[in-house]
Amino acid sequence: MKIIHTADIHLDSPLRSLAFKDPRLSDLVQNATRQALKQIVDVAIELEVIALLIAGDLYDGAERSAKTAAFLLSQLGRLQEANIHVFYIKGNHDAENPITGELTLPSNVHVFDGRGDKVQIPDTDIWIHGVSFSGKHAPDSLLPRFNPPVPGAINIGMLHTSLAGAAGHDPYAPCTVADLSNHGFDYWALGHVHKRQVHSSQPWIVMPGMPQGRDIGEAGAKTASLLTISDGAISVSEIATSQVMFQDCALQVDDLRSTDELRIKMRNALSETASTITSDQAILRMTITGQTELRWELLRDADAWQETAVALAEDAGNLWIEKLIFDLSPPSAKTDHSGALDTLEEMMGQITFEDSFAAEATREVEAMIADLPPAVRKTLAPDEDRMKNLLQDSAEEGTDTILAMMRGASV
């Protein structure tokens, strides 16, 4: 018997900031999370699994969409026709989404409530236990709401939790791996943290990660977990789910002698990347690093090189460039700082750390951000620390741009 475990689908959540950078990416970006769910359903039907477990955050926040509802019902209907049961717990994003309370789901779908419950998969000795979020916050452990394991059966628990804490994730339904192990279940189907991690195999405690990454911070191929149950024992493997994967691509260019050489290096690196990705498409952040005399010329022509990278990625066939970054330094440390441009560089570096500059820059950036959609504003500067980082990064990039235009003018 086989079961698929997934979580954090965030249905219709856009791949952040990409659609407005390149209109050709729009359909790919907007449909990626849907295609990941469709892939899961396709595999479930192909493998004739008996159940699909969705451990929270099927939806993405409070957005209401009739198209989302229609798509979801169509996929659940496909599972119903294949006699595949679906077990679903609500996570923090689901709890604030109005669709969750409005849809009449097919009869093969069981949604656990906030009180906790257990359900037997028909014609098996497998029991699914689950507790949903009652609201968008769960500051206390939900473990006390779980029933004890059914004796002599396979017991699977579904829980949306940050465990003892995870970087980049708010604390939800806190508990420890030891707490879960001691409860007596055979498998814990977790959700909430977007990076896959198998915390234990005796018993199985699995955070499957999200099936579709949304930005470079969620890089790499994404998967769901496939449970195979035989003679009372559970084995776990992965199935590929992401239609689009994000990936860093670093290119070392020490002692670069010509721009033609860089173009060849970029083409070779992209060709190699295209042959190794496991998703249908990949969106890359390419970073050019090293020491080269061409540093200022490359920085001066950064926009042109961005377009070059985009064109080379298209030639590779299944790649897109999200961003091209130059992280270059001169071949050796300079000892003579008497030139006018050296003095200007030093002064500009000092100004970026002055309080008056920071205050004025903050006002300018806040005014620009205020014109952006709320979701984009939250992504760019969700808190004071991120705002400071944004200002510092922008100031350093601006300094390099001005100096590159001046130093590169003589190249």
Each residue's pLDDT tens digit, 228-284: 999 989 999 999 999 889 999 999 998 788 999 999 999 999 999 999 988 888 999
Q: What is the dihedral of CA 29, 35, 37, 38, to 10 degrees?
A: 170
Neighbours of 343 (CB within 10 A): 11
My answer on whether 73 and 175 are in the same domain is yes
**Which amino acid would we find at residue 345?**
E
Q: What's residue 411's pLDDT? A: 46
Asked if 264 and 361 sit in the same domain, the reply is no
The last residue of a domain, from among 310, 333, 356: 333
Residue of 338, 344, 318, 347 whose CA lies nearest to 404:
344
- What is the 3 state secondary structure string of 18-32? CCCCCHHHHHHHHHH
Same-domain pairing of 162 and 81 = yes
Same domain, 167 and 254: no
Shortest CA distance to 326 belongs to which of 288, 365, 366? 288
Please say which residue of 206, 240, 274 terminates a domain.
240
Instruction: Count helices and strands (H / E) in the chain.
Output: 11, 15
Question: What mean pLDDT comes out for the span 186-209?
Answer: 96
Identify whether residues 252 and 161 lie together within a single domain: no
Q: What is the pLDDT of residue 235?
A: 97
d(CA 271, CA 290): 21
CA atoms within 13 A on the CB side of 148: 2
Q: Which of 152-156, 161-165, 301-305 has the lowest average pLDDT?
A: 161-165
Question: Residue 149: is its pLDDT beyond 70?
Answer: yes
pTM confidence score: 0.80
Residue 197, beta-bridge partner list: 207
Q: How far apart are CA 310 and CA 319, in angstroms?
A: 9
3 state SS of 39: helix
Mean pLDDT over 286-313 rounds to 92
List helix spans (H) across 118-182: 177-182
What is the predicted pLDDT for the residue at 64?
58
Cα–Cα–Cα angle for 90, 96, 98, nearest 5°?
Answer: 95
Spatial distance between the Cα atoms of 329 and 332, rounded to a whole number of angstroms: 8
Range of the domain at 252: 244-333
Domain boundary among 316, 333, 350: 333
Buried b (16+ CB within 10 A) or exposed e, 100-139: beebebeebbbbbebebbbeebeeeebbbbbbbbeebebe
Nearest to 198 by CA among 212, 184, 187, 214: 187
State whether 107 and 41 are in the same domain.
Answer: yes
CA distance 296 to 64: 49
Average pLDDT over residues 73-93: 94
Other CB atoms within 10 A of residue 23 CB: 8
Question: Quick check: helix, strand or coil at residue 187?
Answer: strand
Q: Dihedral of the CA atoms 120, 122, 123, 124 (nearest 10)?
A: -30
Question: Is residue 41 domain-shared with residue 84, that is, in the same domain?
Answer: yes
Strands (E) across 293-359 are located at: 319-329
- Give residue 329's pLDDT band: very low, low, confident or very high (50, 70, 90): confident
Q: Kindly indicate the confidence band of residue 336, based on its pLDDT and cuts at 50, 70 and 90.
A: very low
What share of residues in the chain are helix, strand, coil (percent, to 5)? 40, 25, 35
Q: Are residues 227 and 282 in the same domain?
A: no
Whether residues 325 and 341 fall in one domain: no
Q: Cα angle vertex 116, ends 110, 122, to 5°?
A: 40
Q: Report the CATH number at residue 161.
A: 3.60.21.10
Domain count, the chain: 3
